[in-house]
């Protein structure tokens, strides 16, 4: 039975450092960072994760190295918090691409002004963005994306140990390098609706020139939304395939980022 009261001074330091990384991850990771999850529950999850991996991470070798680095505790604490936050944001790249796709579709359909609160990102978002984020969340959980998150977090202690005072910057350069790939995925997801809406707008423009008596401002908006929704649900299976591919890419990039730290 794990008991914090039975830990010695160095073990308590190791426990605190692990807790910093876990807390930074839980408070910034995808799904877990949602404001619908209370702060006490996030703290409890951080403690549970810390107690789960403590015996494996804080082995004798790490404890001896920490004992020699007692003068660098502030640096170690900042490093652990930074690593946890970095890993948490790396898991959110998947949802950033989904949110961008939802924004593009919403603007194409004329729903850009329909703003509601987005609990996943903690800010205001449009209805299509909310729809895609909810769909992506279900897919993420259904394909065990949360398992990969926890697995990546625990494996990060192998590449960035507690007794390391520095991290490699090459991993962050690689994430920035591959960021364009996620933007491309977002455009691919939104492409069917965007292209269809472009054709619809061209048709409405031609119709307004052919029949000037038609009030285009009053007629085009409901027609665009109706056709956009129809095209969206017709192309939804293709979008699910794109989401599946995006999840595979984001998971691979997460583990690659961890190995480069």
pTM above 0.85, yes or no: no
Q: What local confidence, expressed as pLDDT, does residue 110 receive?
A: 74
Q: What local confidence, expressed as pLDDT, does residue 125 receive?
A: 62
Count of all residues that appear for the chain in the document = 261
Q: How confident is the model at residue 155 (pLDDT cuts 50, 70, 90)?
A: confident
Q: Average of pLDDT values for 6-25?
A: 85
Q: How many domains does the chain have?
A: 1
Q: What is the pLDDT of residues 58-67, one digit of tens each?
A: 877 777 777 7
Is residue 1 predicted with pLDDT exceeding 60? no
Most confident listed range (31-45, 59-73, 101-115): 31-45
Q: Would you say 29 and 87 are in contact if contact means Cβ atoms under 8 Å apart? A: yes
Q: What local confidence, expressed as pLDDT, does residue 2 receive?
A: 58
C-alpha 148/C-alpha 154 separation (Å) is 10
Q: Percentage of the chain with pLDDT > 90?
A: 1
Beta partners for residue 115, in sequence order: 126
Question: Domain range for residue 130?
Answer: 4-260
Q: What is the pLDDT of residues 167-205, one digit of tens each?
A: 777 767 777 777 777 778 888 888 888 888 888 888 877
Q: What local confidence, expressed as pLDDT, does residue 116 receive?
A: 58
| DSSP per position, 107-130 | HHHT-TT-EEEETTTTEEEEHHHH
Range of lowest pLDDT (53-62, 115-124, 190-199): 115-124
Task: Find, among 50, 4, 6, 243, the residue nearest to 140 by Cα.
Answer: 243
C-alpha 185/C-alpha 193 separation (Å) is 14
Q: Would you say 186 and 104 are in contact if contact means Cβ atoms under 8 Å apart? A: yes
| DSSP per position, the chain | ---GGG--HHHHHHHHHHHHHHHHHHTTSTTTT-TTS-HHHHHHHHHHHHHHHHHHHS-HHHHHHHHHTGGGHHHHHHHHHHHHHHHHHHHTHHHHHHHHHHHHHHHHHT-TT-EEEETTTTEEEEHHHHHHHHHHHHHHHHTTHHHHHHHHHHHHHHHS-TT-----SHHHHHHHHTHHHHHHHHHHHHHHHHHHHHHHHHHHHHHHHH-TTS-HHHHHHHHHHHHHHHHHHHSHHHHHHHHHHHHHHHHHHHHHHHHH-
> Quick one: how far is CA 248 from the chain centroid?
13
∠ at Cα 236 (230, 240), nearest 5°?
170
């Amino acid at each position: 039975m794990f008991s914090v009261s039975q830990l010695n001074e160095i073990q308590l330091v190791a426990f605190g450092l692990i807790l910093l990384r876990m807390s930074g991850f839980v408070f910034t990771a995808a799904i877990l960072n949602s404001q619908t999850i209370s702060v006490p529950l996030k703290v409890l999850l951080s403690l549970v994760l810390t107690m789960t991996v403590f015996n494996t991470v804080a082995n004798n070798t790490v404890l001896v190295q920490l004992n020699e680095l007692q003068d660098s505790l502030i640096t170690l604490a900042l490093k652990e918090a930074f690593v946890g936050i970095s890993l948490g944001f790396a898991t959110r790249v998947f949802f950033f691409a989904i949110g961008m796709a939802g924004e593009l579709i919403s603007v194409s359909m004329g729903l850009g002004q329909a703003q509601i609160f987005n609990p996943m990102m903690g800010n205001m978002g449009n209805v299509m963005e909310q729809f895609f984020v909810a769909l992506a969340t279900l897919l993420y959980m259904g394909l065990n994306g949360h398992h990969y998150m926890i697995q990546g977090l625990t494996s990060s202690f192998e590449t960035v140990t507690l007794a390391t005072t520095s991290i490699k910057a090459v991993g962050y350069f690689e994430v920035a390098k591959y960021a364009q790939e996620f933007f491309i995925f977002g455009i691919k997801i939104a492409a069917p609706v965007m292209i269809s809406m472009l054709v619809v707008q061209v048709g409405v423009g031609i119709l307004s020139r052919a029949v000037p008596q038609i009030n285009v401002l009053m007629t085009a908006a409901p027609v665009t939304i109706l056709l956009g929704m129809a095209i969206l649900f017709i192309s939804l299976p293709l979008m699910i395939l794109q989401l599946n591919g995006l999840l595979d890419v984001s998971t691979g990039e997460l583990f690659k980022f961890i190995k480069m730290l």
